[in-house]
Chain A
Amino acid sequence: ETGVTQTPRHLVMGMTNKKSLKCEQHLGHNAMYWYKQSAKKPLELMFVYNFKEQTENNSVPSRFSPECPNSSHLFLHLHTLQPEDSALYLCASSQNPGPTSTDTQYFGPGTRLTVL
């Protein structure tokens, strides 16, 4: 399945490093999402972009910085992370999340992040 792609698939970084995660969707959607998935926890919504505009930021620490240059690309810039930030970071996209949309979200394969 190549509708939503993410790179890299695995990332190991130190607490002082700066890295970026990339997501690209080829589905013509106009909403994109970043989720954090930790073991034994619900999917945690981090950021939502709708038509390139950030519409939601669920109290995410500033060490995570999203960027959405267009409706097809989404980045998550990482800086001075903590070991507890180690998790699977999933990107998703959907058609406009409005009242008449199907709201179906299509996920990328995720980036497995380990912070040492």
Chain B
Amino acid sequence: GENVEQHPSTLSVQEGDSAVIKCTYSDSASNYFPWYKQELGKRPQLIIDIRSNVGEKKDQRIAVTLNKTAKHFSLHITETQPEDSAVYFCAASRSNYQLIWGAGTKLIIKP
């Protein structure tokens, strides 16, 4: 079946440094790629998403890049802050189908 692989499972970075989380997907027809953030004890919340007609999207310190040929997309967080500590999930879907989720990355920001 379709799947989404997410790496790394845990990422520890120094406060102020950048963090990159990568996902690969198997369904070449996928055209929607959201990223969710789940803080400890809280619900997952959408932080950024991208559609297959663009290669990059930015929102302040967060950016997502998409490589359709290689079937992978990445989340970039610059100037990391303590409040960025959370579990991040990527997902992929194609029109009229459900989201396929990655396993999650636990991001730890070291002071």
Is chain B's interface secondary structure helix, strand, loop, or mixed overall?
loop
Report yes or no: A105 in contact with B103, Cβ–Cβ below 8 A. no
How far does the alpha carbon of A103 sit from the alpha carbon of B32 in the complex, in Å? 8
Chain B nearest CB from A47 CB (Å) reads 11
* A40-B103, A42-B103 given; A107·B43 CB < 8 A: yes
For chain B residues 86-111, which have a beta carbon within 8 Å of chain A? 89, 93, 95-96, 98-99, 101-104
In the complex, what residue of chain B is closest to A43 when comparing beta carbons?
A: B101
List, in ascending order, chain B residues with CB within 8 A of A106's CB.
46
Q: Which of A41, A56, A103 contacts B93 (CB 8 A)?
A: A103
Report yes or no: A103 in contact with B103, Cβ–Cβ below 8 A. no
Report yes or no: B104 in contact with A104, Cβ–Cβ below 8 A. no
B-side residues, CB < 8 A to A, are 4, 9, 32, 34, 42-46, 49, 89, 93, 95-96, 98-99, 101-104
Apart from A56-B98, A107-B45, what are 20 other A-B pairs with CB-CB below 8 Å? A4-B43, A40-B103, A42-B4, A42-B101, A42-B103, A42-B104, A43-B44, A43-B101, A45-B98, A48-B98, A97-B98, A99-B95, A103-B32, A103-B34, A103-B93, A104-B34, A107-B44, A108-B43, A109-B43, A110-B43
Enumerate the 9 nearest inter-chain pairs by beta-carbon distance, A residue then B residue, closest first: A99-B95, A107-B43, A43-B101, A42-B101, A42-B103, A107-B44, A109-B43, A103-B32, A104-B46
17 intermolecular pairs with C-beta atoms under 8 Å apart: A4-B43, A41-B103, A42-B89, A42-B102, A43-B89, A45-B99, A48-B98, A56-B98, A90-B43, A98-B96, A102-B49, A104-B49, A105-B46, A106-B46, A107-B44, A109-B42, A109-B43
